[in-house]
Chains A and B, each alone.
Chain A
Amino acid sequence: GQQLNQSPQSMFIQEGEDVSMNCTSSSIFNTWLWYKQDPGEGPVLLIALYKAGELTSNGRLTAQFGITRKDSFLNISASIPSDVGIYFCAGQEGEAGGTSYGKLTFGQGTILTVHP
C-alpha cells in the first residue's frame, strides 16, 4: 500500500522561531491534508490542499501541494507555546467533492515542542 514519510520526527524550538515539516509519498495523492493532534483529542484539520502546486495559508500556517503530487510541506511562522502537539500529514486518493470517497494514508507525525 501507499506509504508516507514524514520528517522530522520531532522538533524542539524556541518561541518565535519558524518551523518546517514535510511529507513524501511513494505514489500520487489527489489531496493532501495537514492535521494537528493535542493530547487526548482527535486530529483537527489545519489545511487542505487540492491541486498540484497549490500554496495555501491559514494564519501563521502555510502548506504546499507538491508539483509531482507526491509531497507536501507545512510551515509554521513565529511559533507560540500553543503550537505544541503532533502534526500529521495525510494523503487522500479520492477526488475532493467527487463521487469517490477518500480514505486517508497518514504520515508518522512530527512532535513539536516549543520552549517559551
Chain B
Amino acid sequence: SAVISQKPSRDICQRGTSLTIQCQVDSQVTMMFWYRQQPGQSLTLIATANQGSEATYESGFVIDKFPISRPNLTFSTLTVSNMSPEDSSIYLCSVERLGSGSPLHFGNGTRLTVT
C-alpha cells in the first residue's frame, strides 16, 4: 500500500489564522481525499482533491473555508482558513488507486488545536 506522509503532525494555532496541511504520497495515486475527525467523533469527508481542477466539496464544507490544491498525482494541500476553536480536529488525508482493488488508506493525520 502507498505510504502517506502528512505535515505538520500537530499544531496549535490562534483563532483567525490559517494553517496549510500537506499530504505527500510515495507513489502516484488516482484519488486523494481529505477527512475531518472532530474530538471523540467519527470521520467525515471534507472534499475530493482533483488533480488539475477544483476540489469537489461535500455538503457543509466550502472552498473559502477549506481551499485545497492538488498540483500532481502525489501531493495535495488542505488549508483551514480563518480558524476558530470549532475547527479543532484531526485532519486526515486518504488515497485510492483506481483499478488496484485497494480501498482507501489513510495518513496519520494532523491534530489541530485552535485557541
Q: Could you say which of A51-59, A75-83, A105-113 contacts chain B?
A: A105-113
Q: Is B101 an interface residue (CB 8 A)?
A: yes
Interface of A is mostly: loop
Decide: A101 and B98 in contact? CB cutoff 8 A: yes
Residues of A within 8 A of B1 (CB): 45
B98 touches A99 (CB 8 A): yes
Which of the residues B43, B58, B101 comes within 8 Å of A97, measured between beta carbons? B101
Asked if B53 CB lies within 8 Å of chain A CBs, one says no
Chain B residue numbers with a CB within 8 Å of A48 are 103
B109, A41: Cβ atoms closer than 8 Å: yes
Chain B interface residue bracket vs A: 20 to 34
Interface: A61 (CB within 8 A) = no
Interface residues in A4-24 by Cβ distance below 8 A to B read none
Q: Are A109 and B42 in contact (CB under 8 A)?
A: yes
Q: Tell me if A102 and B103 are in contact (CB < 8 A).
A: yes
Residue A116, interface by CB 8 Å: no
- Chain A residues lying within 8 Å of B103, measured Cβ to Cβ, are 31, 33, 45, 48, 92, 96, 102
A-B pairs with beta carbons under 8 Å apart, 23 shown: A31-B103, A33-B104, A35-B106, A40-B108, A40-B111, A42-B107, A42-B109, A45-B1, A45-B104, A48-B103, A92-B104, A97-B98, A97-B100, A98-B98, A101-B31, A101-B48, A102-B103, A104-B94, A104-B104, A106-B42, A106-B43, A106-B44, A109-B42
